[in-house]
């Protein structure tokens, strides 16, 4: 079995109100020097088989088709 982690992040230039709110909350907790915070998503995916090249290609297609909205998001695929 192949285990993979997909990270989806907002593209640069896309406003992230949730990240902004988290940024302010961290400052409110007394953490000084917190710069920009951007919120994203992590998906841990298990795949049958052992062919890592195929798995990577499949995972990228999954990102394009469903897991990421490429209008506003970037994604990165990492295979353990």
Partner 1 sequence: MKSAVVLLPGLNRDRDMIAALTKISGQAPATVWQTDTEIPDVDLIAIPGGFSFGDYLRCGAIAARMPVMRAVAEKAAKGVMVIGVCNGFQILVEAGLLPGALMRNSSLKFVCRQVKLEISNANTMFTRRYQPGQIIRSPVAHHDGNYFADAETLARIEGEGQVVFRYAEGTNPNGSINDIAGIISERGNVLGLMPHPENLIEAAHGGSDGRALFEGALGIAA
Q: Which residues bind partner 1 (CB under 8 A)?
A: 13-15, 17-18, 21, 65-67, 69, 71-72
Give min distance, CB of 50 to partner 1, in A: 28
Taking the complex as a whole, the smallest distance from the CB of residue 25 to partner 1 amounts, in Å, to 11
Q: How many residues does the chain have?
A: 80
Quote the tokens at residue 15. Answer: 């406003």
Q: Among residues 1 and 15, whose Cβ is nearest to partner 1?
A: 15
- In the structure encoding, which two tokens stand for residue 29, read together? 């907790």
Nearer to partner 1, 47 or 62 (CB): 62
Q: Name the minimum Å distance from CB 67 to partner 1.
A: 8
2 near 46, Cβ under 8 Å? Answer: yes
Laid out side by side, the sheet with 73-79 consists of: 41-47, 2-10, 73-79
Q: 55 or 67, CB closer to partner 1?
A: 67
Residue 70 pairs with which residues in a beta bridge?
Answer: none
């Amino acid at each position: 079995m192949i285990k993979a982690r997909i990270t989806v992040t907002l593209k640069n230039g896309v406003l992230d109100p949730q990240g902004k709110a988290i940024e302010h909350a961290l400052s409110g907790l007394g953490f000084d020097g917190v710069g920009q915070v951007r919120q994203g998503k992590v998906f841990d995916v298990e795949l049958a088989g052992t062919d890592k090249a195929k798995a990577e290609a499949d995972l990228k297609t999954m990102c394009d088709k469903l897991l990421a909205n490429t209008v506003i998001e970037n994604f990165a695929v990492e295979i353990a």
